[in-house]
Amino acid sequence: MGAGRKFMTRVISVTNLKGGSAKSTTTFNLAGVLLEAGYRVLCIDIDPQKTLGEAFFGIQANNKTLSAALINDGLLGSAIHATQFEGLYILPADDGLKSIKSGQTLIEGGELRLRSCLTRLKNQPDPMLGLKPFDWVLIDCPPSLDRLTMNALVASDYVLIPVDPGAGGRGALGDTIEYVTSAQKWYNPTLKIIGLLISNTDTRTVYDQSVVEVVREMYGDLVCKTVVNASVRVRESSEAQTPLVFCKGNEYSRYAAMYRNVWQELAQRVGQLHG
């Protein structure tokens, strides 16, 4: 980050209707790349399955929760946890999100609550809790198109869609893009799809090569050039609660480089969007 850079917090939602499309893995590893690049990063787990917060970061919600902040239009600061990596924070999911997702908890203006909470956090990060402004906020969304996902889209500047290139993944992708279009129309007209990231694939096989080409033919320049291959190393990194860029050993370097390349593409696209 250059000296004198005008500060701006930017928000990316990582979303796809299809489960198993590597949303949490993508969020986790991009957060690592951003931290490595010198940015302060907040990850928000808005998925009631709690994979990003509990499984990947090993951090559970306490009595101050994301769901309570959404319901009460309250402050997020006390629900944010530091991770073992300085400059990287997590706002973990909690069980209260289930009632918001199901509609059991009725909230006036419910789709706008996360944006409201994040706006306050951007303007007043709560130095009493040792929080300074964040450069990037990454939101890990549930595998469903519901009020929680809409909250994330309404609060975001950009959407990144990890894509499972199989037949089921391509079908879910169309529905996901339609949902993003709905968010743009009704709530957030400046929201941009920053890219479609093909993940969970093996480009050494003829089948996966062919389906990757199908996705590229369908969506053109929206599709990132970098493809993230499936690997046991990626799973090991998540189980070790360590983003790939911080894993020791040459066997991880190839996969860490993939996520660095993804970020280089996304950063270029952000620059293009903002002239």
CATH 3.30.750.24 at 10-273, yes or no: no
Tell me: the pLDDT tens digits for 101-121?
887 776 777 899 999 999 988
Beta-carbon contacts of residue 118 (< 8 Å; ≥ 6 apart): 11, 76, 137, 155
Which neighbouring-strand residues pair with 229? 201
Tell me: the pLDDT tens digits for 24-57?
999 999 999 999 999 999 999 999 999 999 999 9
Tell me: the pLDDT tens digits for 82-95?
999 999 999 999 99
What angle in degrees, to the nearest 10, is found between the helix axes of 167-186 and 206-219? Answer: 20
Amino acid at 251: E
Rounded to the nearest integer, the mean pLDDT of the chain is 90
What does DSSP assign to residue 201? B
Tell me the pairing of strands 41-45 and 158-163.
unpaired
- Higher pLDDT pick, 107 / 189: 189
Q: Coil, strand, or helix at residue 128?
A: helix
Q: Are 21 and 200 in contact (CB under 8 A)?
A: yes
Q: How far apart are the first and last CA of the chain?
A: 18
Q: Are 81 and 92 in contact (CB under 8 A)?
A: yes
Q: Are 113 and 151 in contact (CB under 8 A)?
A: yes
